[in-house]
Amino acid sequence: MMAFPLPEATPESLGLDSSKLDRACALVEKDIAQGFHPGAQLAVARHGKLALHRSFGCMERDRQQAVEGQTLFLLYSNTKVITAAAVWLLVEDGLLCFGDAIADHIPGFEAHGKGDITVIDLLSHQAGFPKAVIPIECWDDAARLREAACGIVPEWPRGTRTAYHPNAAYGVARVLVEALTGKDFRDVVRARLIEPLGLELELFMSLPPSEWHRTAPMHAPDAAGGLAVAPVEASATFRQAGFAAGGAHGTARAMAMFYQMLARGGSLGATRLFAPRTMDFVTRDFTGDRVDEQIGIAMHRGLGPFSRGTTLETRGLGTIGHSRTFGHSGVGSSQCWADPVSGVSFAFLSNARQGNDWHNRRMDRISNLIHAAILH
């Protein structure tokens, strides 16, 4: 196996309090001991170096195979930021403007009154179709996916409300990438985002069968109050489809490295993926203090990630985090974020989907410890 591309350094050399990082790891170990998830990974990076990468527990509840550094986890909706980044590339390529109507680039999308929905609406969860679902059978078929996207019927006029779009909006984003590049979305993500960072062994939009042996299956609560492997997420169809709203797999250190690039204005080492102005724009707050109707709090949506903002409540980014901290969660199981002010990036991945209320409290405690570890 190749060495991980992000060099390691001690927390202290990067201005981080190792005792706070140890405390965050102790919380993860406690949750595993109490049966909330069989295994996990946690990673922290700063100043272009990896300060912490630790693995915990087992890959599967009934199989005592330890989680290791290269164990892959399902990212769920952390995938959305990767998908959004593929759209950002189109803007930097001059193929798209954020204010463009989607229908200008996907003929037929204007059906059912969707002609005025913009890229900004789509990526900031203001497009007006939060309940729309594109069936899993469509995700590995470009023609069926495009047909399903065009057939979406809005629930309210774009931009008038904000509500998390868990499924269909990022399917539309995938169709947009394919329409403008003429290439498979999964190939674009790999060639333009993953390979330039050297992460092709630790980050996958589509998970090939050759990597399933090192993939921790996602678990969910069962009727007996325990955990069981989630069958859909473990299926070949799901793993290979390139589900742009929530199907990517990766390691915590890969996600901490990806967010290091975002935190550093779009570049890492000799590799630049985005201009600083692009990063400033896509991480700005497009929804302000408006309450997200599905989440129940103000989410401060950017074009892919959401930010901490200045409201009291937050969702996994840490209450004491800087207002510009941005990132995303994976339903009941994971959280990734970057603080562009301090340069710290963070990723936590687990292999069990718990209730979001519990998960958000868990992530607030862990994220607060990471923020508290920043000494200067």
pLDDT digits (tens, 9 = 90+) for 78-99: 999 999 999 999 999 999 999 9
Residue 56 pLDDT class (50, 70, 90 cuts): very high
How high is the pLDDT of residue 1? 60
Q: What are phi and psi of 248, to 5 degrees?
A: -75, 155
Tell me the average pLDDT across 116-130.
98
- Nearest-10 crossing angle of helices 168-181, 142-150: 120
CB neighbours of residue 58 within 10 Å: 18
- Rounded to whole angstroms, the maximal C-alpha distance in the chain is 57
CA distance 302 to 135: 26
| pLDDT tens per residue, range 222-242 | 988 889 999 999 999 999 999
How high is the pLDDT of residue 242? 94
Mean pLDDT (the chain) is 97
Contact indicator for 253, 347 with CB cutoff of 8 Å: yes
Residue 2 has pLDDT above 80, yes or no: no
CA distances (Å), 118 to each of 60, 106, 127, 128, 363, in order? 42, 12, 8, 11, 32
DSSP label of 12: G
Percent of the chain residues past pLDDT 90, beyond the cut: 96
For 116, the token pair is 């005025």
Nearest to 246 by CA among 167, 334, 192, 351: 167
How high is the pLDDT of residue 63? 81
How high is the pLDDT of residue 291? 97
Residue located via tokens 């469509």: 138
For 288, the token pair is 């302000």
DSSP label of 16: B
Tell me the average pLDDT across 31-37.
97
Residue 334 has pLDDT above 70, yes or no: yes
How many angstroms separate the first and last alpha carbons of the chain?
A: 35
Percent of the chain residues past pLDDT 70, beyond the cut: 99
CA distance 288 to 291: 9
Task: Supply angle C-alpha 306, 310, 316, rounded to 5.
Answer: 45
For 111, the token pair is 């059906």
How high is the pLDDT of residue 64? 85
Number of H helices, E strands in the chain: 10, 14
Nearby residues of 277 by Cβ (< 8 Å), 6 or more positions away: none
| pLDDT tens per residue, range 162-194 | 999 999 999 999 999 999 999 999 999 999 999
Residue 62 pLDDT class (50, 70, 90 cuts): confident
| pLDDT tens per residue, range 14-30 | 999 999 999 999 999 99
How high is the pLDDT of residue 44? 99
How high is the pLDDT of residue 223? 87
Contact indicator for 346, 44 with CB cutoff of 8 Å: yes
Residue located via tokens 């967010």: 259
Tell me the average pLDDT across 194-219.
98
Residue 123 has pLDDT above 80, yes or no: yes
CB neighbours of residue 20 within 10 Å: 19
| pLDDT tens per residue, range 248-258 | 999 999 999 99
For 353, the token pair is 């989907």
